[in-house]
Amino acid sequence: MRIKVLLCLIGLVLLFQLYGCIGPGSTQNATIGGPQDNNTQTSGSADGRYFLYDLGNPASPAVQKTIVESVSSPQDAHNVFGRVNLTVKECFSLSEEPYRSECLEKAALYLKDMSLCGNLSADYRAYCYYEYAAYAGNASACGLIDDASAQAMCKRRVAIITGDSSLCGYAASETDGTQKAGMCRAVAGSGKLVGKERCREDLVYQYLVEFQYFGDTIYWLSQNHSGEKVLSWWDYGTALECMGVESVVSEDDLNGSAVTEAAHLLVASNESELASYMRAKGAKYLMLPTELVASSGELGGKYGALNYLSCVWENKTDAGAYPGESDCESEHLWEEIFISSGSCNVSDTKDGFLAYKLYYGSQYQANYPSFCLSPADQQTKGYCSGYFTAVPAYCVAKIALSDGQSAYATYSLDEKNSDGSLKLHRTLIGQTYHFGDVQAATLFYTHDEVFPGGLDSFDERTMPFYDSILYKGLFLYSMEGFQEVYTDPTESVTVYELSG
């Protein structure tokens, strides 16, 4: 077990932020056509040029529910006009933001008319120049972005899709700029992205350059195992393939069952089932990023989406339900306890603190809504008190470990030793965080023999989550039939090779 990763989970935010706002809309699959680099300012309302208002890849209903963009970008211009073949003046006729700016951005990319970006609101203008520079392969548009670090990012993105490594610089304000510039030069120098339209996508660039942990891992795979098949989550598929590494699941599979099956393999399968699937697909490597199960210092990340889709695959929930509503998802969560200041007795000579597990109706919950901590009104207070129930589960008290050090441990309230004392429940209490008047803590079960008598805690595990591929691969670093072959320097992404 790697304590650094286990007790100090790495928070990863994979949202592109430019000039103070998250890039609006999705223009990943825009087709470039029409006039080349037409930078003449148009009159707007009189501009009758047609362009295709790209809607992106379709996705199955279940996958749609797990993609943030499908909720925040309802493709309003398409809904307003009922077609994808629009005119620029129709974009100008949309008064509501962000829809007007999203429409004009798509027009600017399709028509290769950078001047249209100048008609966007200030919050969206920089992102339009950023996207235009990439899709047109024209770094001059980056110079129209005021912020120095965003301008450097823009040039690095153009560098890797054009192969011009001279653009791989960085701004003085970027504390990790030298590393990003170095990765940019390595990727641009490979020439593998040049001429590939899909490789212009913003997330491809971010995974290869801005997010060093992914860049290091994908570059390592491309240098050592180019042409091999890798199983990972679909998000990373295009970036892998742009570097010459074939991905078993990618955004091309959003409208089928491959994504839900991949979620099942990571959440609810065992090593034998995973190995059989990979052999059938001709895959030799498994890439596991920490962000699939952790974010901002605690368990979470993309796990809610994977858990939901896994249950869809098993027909234990369906696209008619939203993520987090099924018993199946509740059963595959990790064990979270809420330690109060209330006292309890482990034995006649040892006291501890009472710890609870949380339920929403009959369903176990690992998280408590933040709005319930300080309800703003009586309706919210009634909802929180009426639907959430805290059930006593453990007594938390100090214990002497096998190496002589002391730590807090859990004792089961419903199990007792022959002398009447509470029975020790062997588990490691992970990172805690304040939760109103209590502290929330995640319980971990490992093979470390740290308990009295040289015992470990893995046999005491309580939830299927601890048998998942994600938990074994990212916290135990041990999976039967698999060998760890690479971990990036930050221990954020790990690659396993299938044995035999």
> Do residues 288 and 473 lie in contact, with contact meaning Cβ atoms separated by under 8 Å?
yes
Q: Give domain status of residue 261, yes or no.
A: no
Residue environment code for 447-480, b if the CB has 16+ CB neighbours within 10 A, otherwise e = ebebbeeeebbbebbebebbbbbbbbbbbbbebe
Answer whether residue 96 shows pLDDT above 90: no
Query: Mind listing the pLDDT tens digit for each residue in 101-147?
Result: 999 999 999 999 999 999 998 889 999 999 999 999 999 999 999 99
Between CA 456 and CA 301 the distance in angstroms is: 27
Block residue for tokens 């009189």: 46
Residue 95 vs residue 21, higher pLDDT: 95
Block residue for tokens 């129709």: 90
> Do residues 183 and 211 lie in contact, with contact meaning Cβ atoms separated by under 8 Å?
no
Between CA 88 and CA 53 the distance in angstroms is: 10
**What's the one-letter identity of residue 185?**
R
pLDDT (0 to 100) of residue 313: 96
Query: Mind listing the pLDDT tens digit for each residue in 19-53?
Result: 333 233 333 333 334 444 554 445 566 899 999 99
Burial class of residue 342, CB neighbours in 10 A (0-12, 13-18, 19+)? middle
Average pLDDT over residues 277-298: 94
Between CA 149 and CA 156 the distance in angstroms is: 11
pLDDT (0 to 100) of residue 312: 96
Q: Give domain status of residue 274, yes or no.
A: no
Residue 211 vs residue 40, higher pLDDT: 211
Tokens of 454: 């040289």
Domain residues for the domain of 391 are 335-462
Residue 397 vs residue 98, higher pLDDT: 397
Mean pLDDT for the chain? Answer: 88
Q: Give the residue from 398, 305, 358 showing the smallest Cα distance to 62.
A: 305
Residue environment code for 361-370, b if the CB has 16+ CB neighbours within 10 A, otherwise e = eeebbbbbee
Residue 65 vs residue 111, higher pLDDT: 111
pTM: 0.87
pLDDT (0 to 100) of residue 306: 97
Number of domains in the chain: 1
The residues that bridge with 86 in the sheet, in sequence order, are: 51
Q: Give domain status of residue 445, yes or no.
A: yes
Average pLDDT over residues 325-329: 95
pLDDT (0 to 100) of residue 43: 56
Between CA 426 and CA 275 the distance in angstroms is: 31
Average pLDDT over residues 175-192: 95
Query: Mind listing the pLDDT tens digit for each residue in 436-472?
Result: 678 889 999 999 999 999 999 999 999 999 999 999 9
Q: Give domain status of residue 52, yes or no.
A: no
pLDDT (0 to 100) of residue 426: 96
Question: Pairing relation of β-strands 388-400 and 363-365?
Answer: unpaired
pLDDT (0 to 100) of residue 319: 80
Answer whether residue 74 shows pLDDT above 80: no
Residue environment code for 229-248, b if the CB has 16+ CB neighbours within 10 A, otherwise e = bbbbbbbbbbbbbbbbbbbb
Query: Mind listing the pLDDT tens digit for each residue in 331-382?
Result: 999 999 999 999 999 999 999 999 999 999 999 999 888 888 778 889 988 9
Average pLDDT over residues 388-417: 94
Q: Tell me what percent of the residues of the chain surpass a pLDDT of 90.
A: 74
